[in-house]
Structure 1
């Protein structure tokens, strides 16, 4: 089940707090509108998380890169570090081996934002890796040096320095010199030597020089001549951004592209860096933040995402959120996101129920209605409250908490508060049932008063499977040997059999649409001893439910033994677990799909995202 409708349910009115009474209509691009846009963007990002805690975009080419960028964005946007989405992402990244400049840099940013002290050693190791790739500036790390990779390396080294890593002054000087070498004659900056300046790269160049200047100055390693040269180029870059200012595209001299230019959101985050690091409210005559906000709010899609001409909603949404949150600013004093409150106090209700939070959810009785007080307050106790025997709090038909009262005396200002934790995220129907003793009666005569039902979206419940799935790649025995994967058919090259054993939940195997007997066979070069087989069904993104046909029944054949028929969990966000009994030395696994439910876009194409073998003794 997709979390997005539930998450978006939290964005009505003021998304994280109660709406103000009789408030003036919010400005279309004022603080309340920005808060709403951020909340919707976060809802999209949270809902797009994969089973293993990762995010899908370019996860194969840049392992852990998008996941690190998303984690950094969540934290910088005020999401609690104990939020399940944060915990799942952090767990997935514990064993990530980024291997490329962008991914390594984003991982440093995420780890420093998450817990600089606790992650100090890993940050230092990653920073050392970055420095080993340095060639003045930075490439991918292979290939030519470019200003974009250099910018992310500089940002990461700045974060590493905050976490206690000592970046050599020589490294900072070389970064600055590399950026200056890409300055163009008109004061802008280019991606690589010989190219024209662009808005995205000019913002990157200015940000690099500002970071370099501040780092060298902090260590008294900035001679006057170098300081003056940096200042001149910084000023020249800011003037270039003023002359070619735009927020709907990343400007080039020929102003190619349009409002959906593929790098506009990346550019806007770069513009935010310049404004923040240079302490500029305006770039020339332009209020860069206000103009960026206006465009971003208009460009946001209904489900909370931002996209560019290449799609790429995950990184694009991250860049938009980082701009709106001014993420480059010092983190001290950064606010967290408020706790959501549900319900209202009304004299027309027999019982008014209020709730605040998520999981845990705090519930209490805020008041009893005028009619209930008139009918059930005892003689001589007018205004002192009803005599309450007990209060039951329910989720649908299930009593989830009970608070005892004292029917021998009026309740006064008692609120009968309780807290409830949930095992799974989902929409909850919360209401209260209050047992009161009427005038002159006793417990046997109790009358039941009921509150209206509150629709409460729960998104922060940490289910047992969440961290288990994030840790599963480290337990997968198939990763310890070469696996020859072949199948009865494949939908296309992007859904080849080998992707079902690559350790990632972001790609897998799908059979051809017309395949009548879909079968996946895995032959291990070296046998592995395990007792649990796990598989997850092939699917679109977490926001594209039932895109492909869903396997319903699978015959599992291990080492050629008689098949074991298994019913597949029909929740796309769950794995199916097959117990093999005692540990078995596995050389061959065959999965035959014998029944399936047609998909929305592909009636017959079905398969598996990942097959895993574990020893869970």
Structure 2
């Protein structure tokens, strides 16, 4: 399973949940093939992917595809930092934020010129659309996440969810931007969910709003539980109906466990990873294993979460129920009013609904809204949404309920939705389908020689003349799928998830040397200078080259520089990197007794003169 090391976004216990299938389930439900019609909506070629479990794409294949896609995407950036798209005029922030999100998740360094230019462009734009503001919040969170290199350095010494580490890195000015964006998003919530923001409510805008609010909460920005309650009410009310029981049932940990239980598993995992795991029970209180249990590996007995928390899988039932774009409404035919039609689920909207209801669960659990009865409704909704995806599973197109073949419309948008649903639900298999392996095989096969996917380049006619139109969103969706980019609600480092290390294996007896997580661009000490010293340390942040520390008794302090100031220019030369700042200061202090420095402080620019003492 080493090929999955390319994936930066781990899910706690996915391998555990999938490998340790429930004994009760296995006994009650024989491993029968899916019932006739259960795979409705999937193309015949999907059946060929049945071998994907034993022949997954290699790490080299996935790395190469991501690299080629990233190289193509970087070339599409315009000089002003923006990225084009079909709706560039009204969604300038959203198009650019989506590309930044994909680039950052795929390992492009946060100090890369394209990242800096993209944020410089997008952060100046006003809040206008739910899509745009939501994806921008997600891109900002991605900027602060631990990179693959940082995770590699930290290794087994990481003692908490990587998202918790990222949250501590957000500068006050950026936290203020996100806080304002969250306030704006909440103000645009309609009766229950979101729209563009005008003209009713829809599931698509809503999933991005909830993903953004979930990201903001990881950045320690408060969101009222009532926001999630209104949204959850909608998804419970407008989920489709089905009396057909889906069999055999499969594990959906996001429904089978409470968020508190999942977080306890996460906490225990990190203790095991650092060799600090201790039993929560006294020896005298431990249950004696049965004769059948005694035959099983000790690690399985110790780690099976269903056994540990007393979850009875045999009691679960699943009914394939999906969601559609907007709520069904009554309509008229020749002046005669007809009742609202039943919900007709689609793959893209069911993944959106499943994503949304899981986030709502995380936002509501532990509040006064989370009663036993309401929890049962939400968990059944999650389980049924997963069953819909299993029944109509496809990676070759966007499946629709009631159609024989999946649709090509919104195909890569759906695949990115499938990735989000799988990660957040902690599901490795939707029914019999390993969603990531099958999806990755398809995505790799469909990449164009230049590196793009789908309809990122399309031909349109303008006044009878064919023109090429650029819209990199499909390429972004494909990259985000391959990278498994969604930040899970509960997470651990990848090597522990996909290899089982620390979960299914006993921890090493020798405790690894404790290391502190690598800091993002740690403060740069004053560069060695041949001239005089100004007494300031800087770092590269989302806002630019930012003053980290101003030393007492040095010229920079006398000139009025403050922590948080963003360096705009030195001696008239624009500053974009720490290296440029160091070089400019070194040159100026060697030949001059005064240096002109312009800084950005909030919304204003301030010019100051730093004088040699």
User: Taking structure 1 as the reference length, what is the TM-score of the superposition?
Assistant: 0.48
Which of structures 1 and 2 has the bigger CA Rg?
1
User: Taking structure 2 as the reference length, what is the TM-score of the superposition?
Assistant: 0.49
Q: Which has the higher strand share?
A: 1
Q: Which has the higher helix share?
A: 2
